[in-house]
Structure 1
Amino acid sequence: MKIETLPLATAPTTAPRRPWKKALALLLIVLLAGGAWYFMRARGAAAPAPDAAAKDGPKVAVYELSKGDVATIASRELRLNLPLAGALAPSEQATVKAKVSGVVLDTTLQEGTAVAAGQVIARLDAADQRARVAQMQAAYDEATARVSLATKNNANSQALLKQNYISQSSVDNTQNSVELAQASLAAARAQLDMARIALADTVIRAPLAGVISKRHVQAGEKLAPDMPVATIVNLRLLNLEASVPASEVPRVKIGQEVRFKVDGFARRDFVGKVARISPTTEAGSRSMVVYISVDNSDAALRGGMFAKGAITTEKSAAAPLVPLAAMRELKGDAVVYAIVDGQVVAQRVSLGLRNDDDGVAEVKSGLQEGATVIVARLDAVKPGQKVRVGAAPPAPAAAAAKG
């Protein structure tokens, strides 16, 4: 019996198939098909029926406006202003000078010190003036005695003439002596008065109330007549001297209000009134100087400060003001696009004063305070258009004008 050996079976070269993969692929196909069916069904249900769409009619478009596209009409005064600039100067100032010669004994007042009218600001050595007064007093007493003697002689001559002891010419001579003595007495009296005045002038007093802006002498200095002692300025009333073009002078009137600012007082407005207008133009500039009176009771301002402001040449009563940007022309009429109940309305208006610098005009008729107008140029917005303003409130016209 022959036994043959069979070869061993070899392992399969490919991996056995896995049945779960096929099931997973089938599940994905089913899910995709179900999702597509659900989407198509929802889309079909959302589409309105043709009859229902025709029944509702076309939708009305509403234009959305921002807060910068509109303004609210406010009421206030409208002013027409003429700009100006100039320097402040004291309305009253004086440089006190010596009237007599003498050595300065004391001068205690310094720059910036307030003085009253008549207050002593310096004293001079008065020894020479006292001696002069004594001399003139003696001359006056002598002249008085001569008048007394001449009067007595004249009386005696009159008595002798009545008794025919002397001639008329002798009486005339004694009468002439009386007149000469009286003239000498008057001259002596005048000289004495002048000496007394000179003595009083050794005490130098302030001629006006104000503030010492400069002291020119020190104690111990020798003064001659007409030498400056101190300069005093009165700051209670200042003058603002400003140049105005000659072409604008017809707009300026005495009494008009002026508002201005000064460097260093950024948050404060100062007020003055036109007091005088120069009758001639300045050479070269062809402008005229306007003098503006400024009350400075609190002494906040100083002479020489530079001021910049404007003259109010014309002013209206409080009235609605419309921004010039809101004005339009429709069929030859001045109109604005007002918003009434969410709709644009072309509103005719009548204007009064117009201020191009502030960009506003006075409304005589056609608009009331609180009305909302469109200031932006929007081609798509026409009368009859439905509009809606954003949640932010519109800027008032007055605030827009100030900005």
Structure 2
Amino acid sequence: MRITVEITKIVHSSFVILLTLFFGTSMLVMTPKPVNAQGKELSERGKAADTNKDGLIQESEARGPLAANFDDMDCDKNGGLDGAEISGFFSGSGCPEKAIKDSGKLKTAKKITSQGKKPTPRGRPPQAVKLGDVVSKLSSETYQIVGRVVALQSGVLSARISGTINLVSVAVGERVKKGSMVAKLAAGRLITERKRAVALLNRQNAVLRVQKTALKNVKRELSRMKSLLKSAAFSRARFEDLEGLVSEKTAQVLEKNAQVAEALASLERIDIDIRDATIRAPFEGIIIQKHVEVGTYVNTGAPIVTLINDRLLEIEIDVPSARINTLKTNTLARIILDNGDRVSAVVRAIIPREDLRTRTRPVRLRPEVKPTTKPFADNQAVLVELPLTSDRPVLTVSKDAVIRRANGNVVYVVNGATASMRSVRVGRGIGDHFQILSGLKAGEKVVVRGNERLGGGGKVRVVR
């Protein structure tokens, strides 16, 4: 076996030597294919993007830089990108050369090269970009902020007297009208006290009538004694006694009048307690909590139910202090509900109280509720669209123009056909624009598309 291999090697070497002597050395030199004519096969990443598996990246399949520079990269204009076209664009060698199959054309090409003509240098083509303007104007934006529903009438109904709950006539979630009964305390003891107070008042009135009659009789006798002043029947001692008796009877009548008034006040207080034993709704609303049950003993001030007026509501939002100066009362706003419905609202008041932690101020809005509007709930979260207009011009640029870097924000400013990178200081967002605090001037052109591959800047080609 080893002898056979050695013989084969000797024969092969002899055949090569004969070919060299007969055809010359040029026969053994193979002309390599142009590098750019090879490698048309897509990379593994390109194959993953090739959804229709036709070996090309179609325009509908292109993403990122491929989509932004598709027309420049499609050298043969066949509507697809192969591996060579992609490689040539990103390596900076440009479009791939087509393989020259005709030997005559190949010789001509070699001859031209041998005559000293240099091939056209190839470099990376200018980056295709779209531009936007740096604008200075009064900004008008719709500021979205989360607010909450606030009930203007809500509170806990408490017991005004002590006693045992005898009746609770409402349930949680039930709507009540103004003045309707909510609960009732046992009033038997109060009714008995009232009867006693009435009897006491009647007795005091009777005594008062007796004393008034006695005072009247003493006054009449004193008057008769005065008429006998010049008569022999006049008695000075009797006259003075009658004067003292009149004063005494007058004082007794005054004291009894006070006792009658005291008894009357006690009766009125009992009547108030009897009236307070029945707890009534002070306004129309819905019972949202019940604190007692029948048989519960409560003291004065104990909570009975919690009532809320769901038809008298406002919206409260916390607006940043930096934006509050552009907001005015009677400004028309819009409320977005959970189901997508929109309700108009008007700014009623700007509360002059600031939260030091959040640097915000409360603003109250009055919603214009229609009969078809979904009912609000107390403390419900809603989204408020608040129109705000700046009181001075603001320098803005499209958000697409700003690129965030580790050392800050940058934009690419275009002057002629060259883009240069510039650092900027960005403020708040205004719609699809950023406020520019420094770094740009009004009227400058900035790159809003294609800036992700500009690096430090360079030549650009503006497309629309």
Which category of TM-score, normalised to the shorter sequence, fits these structures? 0.5 to 0.7
1:124 aligned onto 2:198? no
1:82 aligned onto 2:143? yes
8 Å Cα contact 1:237/1:297 also seen in 2: no
The offset of 1:151, in angstroms, is 1.3
Task: State how far apart, in whole Å, the 2-side matches of 1:208 and 1:229 are.
Answer: 15
Give the counterpart letter for 1:156 in structure 2.
N
Q: 1:133 aligns with which of 190, 194, 202?
A: 194
The offset of 1:376, in angstroms, is 9.5
The offset of 1:296, in angstroms, is 4.5
What percentage of residue pairs aligned between the two structures are identical? Answer: 20
Cα distance change of structure 1 residues 176 and 93 upon mapping to structure 2, 3 Å threshold: same
Task: State how far apart, in whole Å, the 2-side matches of 1:189 and 1:250 are.
Answer: 61
Q: Which residue of 2 aligns with 1:209?
A: 284
Offset from partner CA, 1:248-270 (integer Å, 9 cap, x none):
2222222222212233x2x2012
Offset from partner CA, 1:231-281 (integer Å, 9 cap, x none):
110011212221111122222222222212233x2x201222222222121
8 Å Cα contact 1:97/1:229 also seen in 2: yes
Q: Which residue of 2 aligns with 1:181?
A: 256
Q: Which residue of 2 aligns with 1:93?
A: 154
Q: Which residue of 2 aligns with 1:261?
A: 336
8 Å Cα contact 2:346/2:367 also seen in 1: yes
Give the counterpart letter for 1:279 in structure 2.
P
Q: Which residue of 2 aligns with 1:284?
A: 357
Give the counterpart letter for 1:280 in structure 2.
R
Task: State how far apart, in whole Å, the 2-side matches of 1:297 and 1:179 are.
Answer: 65
Q: Which residue of 1 aligns with 2:462?
A: 379
Give the counterpart letter for 2:341 in structure 1.
R
SS at the partner of 2:312?
strand
8 Å Cα contact 1:237/1:294 also seen in 2: no
Cα distance change of structure 1 residues 125 and 158 upon mapping to structure 2, 3 Å threshold: same
**What is the aligned length?**
252
Give the counterpart letter for 1:285 in structure 2.
T
The offset of 1:289, in angstroms, is 0.9
**Equivalent residues in 2 for 1:4-403 (5 A)?**
80-164=141-225, 165=238, 166-263=241-338, 265=339, 267-296=340-369, 298=371, 300-313=375-388, 356-357=430-431, 379=462
The offset of 1:81, in angstroms, is 2.9
Give the counterpart letter for 2:362 in structure 1.
V
8 Å Cα contact 2:158/2:301 also seen in 1: yes
8 Å Cα contact 1:106/1:219 also seen in 2: yes
Task: State how far apart, in whole Å, the 1-side matches of 2:181 and 2:206 are.
Answer: 39
Task: State how far apart, in whole Å, the 2-side matches of 1:236 and 1:95 are.
Answer: 17
8 Å Cα contact 2:219/2:246 also seen in 1: yes
Give the counterpart letter for 1:131 in structure 2.
T
8 Å Cα contact 2:149/2:381 also seen in 1: yes
The offset of 1:313, in angstroms, is 4.0
Give the counterpart letter for 2:182 in structure 1.
I
Give the counterpart letter for 1:248 in structure 2.
R
Task: State how far apart, in whole Å, the 2-side matches of 1:305 and 1:229 are.
Answer: 24
The offset of 1:310, in angstroms, is 2.2
306-315 or 225-234, larger mean C-alpha shift: 306-315
8 Å Cα contact 1:143/1:185 also seen in 2: yes
Task: State how far apart, in whole Å, the 2-side matches of 1:246 and 1:102 are.
Answer: 51
Task: State how far apart, in whole Å, the 1-side matches of 2:203 and 2:463 are.
Answer: 111
Structure 1 residue runs of 5 or longer lacking an equivalent are 1-68, 70-77, 316-323, 326-354, 360-374, 382-403
Offset from partner CA, 1:46-69 (integer Å, 9 cap, x none):
xxxxxxxxxxxxxxxxxxxxxxx9
Give the counterpart letter for 1:292 in structure 2.
L
Task: State how far apart, in whole Å, the 2-side matches of 1:206 and 1:238 are.
Answer: 18
RMSD between aligned alpha carbons? 2.8
Task: State how far apart, in whole Å, the 2-side matches of 1:187 and 1:312 are.
Answer: 65
The offset of 1:108, in angstroms, is 3.2
8 Å Cα contact 1:244/1:290 also seen in 2: yes
Offset from partner CA, 1:58-113 (integer Å, 9 cap, x none):
xxxxxxxxxxx9xxxxxxxx964333222212111121111112222221311110
TM-score by length of 2: 0.50
Cα distance change of structure 1 residues 295 and 234 upon mapping to structure 2, 3 Å threshold: farther
8 Å Cα contact 1:144/1:185 also seen in 2: yes
Q: Which structure carries more relative contact order (alpha carbon 8 Å, separation 6+)?
A: 1
Give the counterpart letter for 2:317 in structure 1.
A
Task: State how far apart, in whole Å, the 1-side matches of 2:380 and 2:247 are.
Answer: 74
The offset of 1:282, in angstroms, is 1.5
The offset of 1:294, in angstroms, is 2.4
Offset from partner CA, 1:290-331 (integer Å, 9 cap, x none):
12222446461111211122223459xxxxxxxx98xxxxxx
8 Å Cα contact 1:235/1:296 also seen in 2: no
Structure 2 residue runs of 5 or longer lacking an equivalent are 1-130, 132-138, 226-237, 391-396, 399-428, 434-447, 451-460
Give the counterpart letter for 1:118 in structure 2.
G
